[in-house]
Chain A
């Protein structure tokens, strides 16, 4: 496989003006040009400035990744685009809420494993738990995989948020 055909996974942070339709613009760009979205998160990060930060995990060849960044950067409400995979050492986290239903030995095992993953129980009944678990997407995958035979009934994930290490702002 040639270098320009290797599919890479990149985490891209986009700082945008929090105006109506800005998320639709970003998503429309990805769907319209056939780019992948593996995960996408968005929330306002500065109320006074009305700016939101969008974190997108995407994959593609190096040429496609460059295109994605250039295409995002030319959207009018975009302040800044950074590729946290190449431009900075970054930390990434995702949170999941995981509902497991069951009784007896399986229930005990679910609780025991949740402890190993530092998951918190945020809701409980006699026959179910809701766990809150935070970590890399791989860690969440592993936790969810372990819960599956123990009565996994529902999962809700936030998608990845990421930030560069060190003292500098985006």
Chain B
């Protein structure tokens, strides 16, 4: 390509276009005015104006998770950058590829405590995969492309490019070659074949096996999901997944045991506890999943496939650790399995499934309905049933509603479910839904929310209305920070310290104030018609679903307990937490 002189601001735009970016989420300010001016003078990139920088980052996450492409954010220096921190940390914890551009004061002012100056690379060093303070326009050309490479290769994550205002005016020659090789960062994607063979031996000889999969499958792309399905069906083994991995394997399949972990199903957790071979693909033995570590799956041989070597043997010691991308490793596993014509132990497997069916028979997700009050689980289940067959994307906030959504809304495809798993960020769902809706304008995008969480980024209603994004916000309103209350019940003798939602807005009027539609349902008999009305409403909707105020989220592994020590919804009396457990979150 012929060399051309561009300003720093123009370099930013050109590089974004060359990286295949068509949408960015941002908020202008003094230190990014030249970039906003360059945006104004082009029509290849669409800018979505959010109402708070945290919203921009979560929207970019929703965009990224629903498309598999990196999300892009543009914010100003100082408060613009610091407001983005929660979103960046969220993306780091959940391994979401983001490129966040922050304005910075001019290079000669750095360190002088200038207006709207913050040490952005210093502050974001701990909440990004990598970051750069760019000191010149030629450096900007290189860093823009390097940033996309780093964000999307290996274990994905957020990166920050901090661009001083004078660099945005400075001119440099622009160039782009699609296949750069990074100087230092070259993550391993192919797994070690010797170890893969070792894993295959363990898998083929298993008597009580289980697949435990996670967000790594989703991040690896749709091919990984396809290969996983093929492999799991070939073996006939049961499969469970983390919160992050829902949708990678179809929830409607008979080998699916439901989610595992703190609010996972009885069958998934008991199978994890009793299994003899545990096949972890793209999950990270998170504490929400393992429960008490010294009692975690005590008698199993453990296989762990992860693109991040530091995830292997971090929390749980494994017998076979394979560093590599899920899709690559699954492809090799399938090839070796088929070429050796491996067979499973049919008799042992039959016994294992019999045991699993006994656990399934416990119906751990069951709940009791009545004619007077809507049960939150019932609301989700009706929402799921009434939206079946449509192209649906679901985001959530954080709390009880999030767990009920994970338990009762079922996903048959990857990239349809977006929730803040690692960081647990209240206020994630609405902006994430906006990002997903931008990427999928025709789809039905629903934010399953709680009345407390939704208020944390409610300002993004303006964004939804401005861009005519028909996101549906389905609020399970129990007038409590339900998960906090549930833990206070369990750990602090029911002293509900500050966990009530006092002085709530009228959500129907609030929707109307934003120029959206408000719908309320308070009786089970109204539920179906109201949900249908919500689906049929063309614009954004806040659905205020008044639910049972005292329903708790079960089943539950209390903190500090093992997988086979679950509290079930119909038997919460035995619930107790050890002294050590109380120390845990």
Contact = CB atoms under 8 A, between A and B. Distances in A.
A75 B130 CA distance: 8
Interface string B117-135: 0000110011001110100
B314 A67 contact: yes
Contact of A76 (B185, B310, B312, B317): B185
A63 interface: yes
A32 interface: yes
Contact of B183 (A4, A17, A24, A63): A17
B310 A74 contact: yes
A77 interface: yes
Contact of B122 (A16, A24, A73, A76): A24
Contact of B184 (A21, A67, A78): A78
A79 B184 CA distance: 5
A165 interface: no
A76 B309 contact: no
Contacts of B333: none
Interface in A22-53: 24-25, 28, 32
A24 B317 contact: no
B423 to A, nearest CB: 15
Contact of A32 (B126, B129, B133, B312): B126
A13 to B, nearest CB: 15
Given A63-B317, A76-B129, A70 B121 contact: no
B187 to A, nearest CB: 8
Contacts of B125: 21, 24-25, 28
Contacts of B310: 67, 70-71, 73-74
Contacts of B155: 74
B154 interface: yes
A76 B314 CA distance: 20
A73 B133 contact: no
A78 B183 CA distance: 9
B313 interface: yes
B308 interface: yes
Nearest to B150: A76
A66 interface: yes
Contacts of B121: 21
A77 B122 CA distance: 16
B185 A73 contact: no
A74 B184 contact: no
Interface string B155-185: 1000000000000000000000000000111
Given A17-B184, A67-B314, A73 B309 contact: yes
Contacts of B154: 74
User: Which residue, of B122, B184, B308, has the highest number of chain A Cβ atoms within 10 A?
Assistant: B184
Nearest to A20: B133
B126 A76 contact: no
Contacts of A17: 183-184
A63 B311 CA distance: 12
Contacts of A16: 184
A145 B126 CA distance: 39
B485 to A, nearest CB: 32
Contacts of A78: 184
A63 B308 contact: no
Contact of B130 (A20, A63, A76, A79): A76
Given A20-B133, A28-B126, A63-B317, A77 B184 contact: yes
Nearest to B317: A63
B313 A63 contact: yes
A27 to B, nearest CB: 10
Nearest to A74: B310
A20 B314 CA distance: 29
Interface string B295-319: 0000000000000111011100100
A25 to B, nearest CB: 6
A71 B129 CA distance: 12
Nearest to A76: B130
A24 B122 CA distance: 8
B384 to A, nearest CB: 38
A75 B314 CA distance: 17
A58 B131 CA distance: 26
Nearest to B159: A76
B296 to A, nearest CB: 15
Interface string A1-21: 000100000000000110011
Contacts of A28: 125-126
Interface in A49-105: 63, 66-67, 70-71, 73-79
A74 B153 CA distance: 12
Interface in B266-311: 308-310
Given A20-B133, A21-B121, A76-B129, A70 B183 contact: no
A130 B15 CA distance: 57
User: Which residue, of B129, B150, B154, B309, has the highest number of chain A Cβ atoms within 10 A?
Assistant: B309
Nearest to A29: B126
Contacts of A32: 126
A73 B184 CA distance: 10
Contacts of A79: 184
A74 B126 contact: no
A99 B183 CA distance: 44
A21 B124 CA distance: 12
B130 A74 contact: no
A75 B154 CA distance: 11
A76 B133 CA distance: 15
A42 B361 CA distance: 61
Contacts of B129: 76
B298 to A, nearest CB: 16
Contacts of B184: 16-17, 76-79
A95 B459 CA distance: 59
Interface of A: 4, 16-17, 20-21, 24-25, 28, 32, 63, 66-67, 70-71, 73-79
24 contacts: A16-B184, A17-B183, A17-B184, A20-B133, A21-B121, A21-B133, A24-B122, A25-B125, A28-B125, A28-B126, A32-B126, A63-B313, A63-B317, A67-B310, A67-B313, A70-B308, A70-B310, A70-B314, A73-B309, A74-B154, A74-B155, A74-B308, A74-B310, A79-B184
Given A21-B122, A70-B314, A74-B154, 7 more contacts: A4-B317, A16-B184, A24-B122, A63-B317, A66-B313, A74-B309, A76-B150
Smallest CB-CB A-B distances: 7 pairs? A70-B310, A76-B130, A70-B309, A76-B185, A71-B310, A79-B184, A77-B184
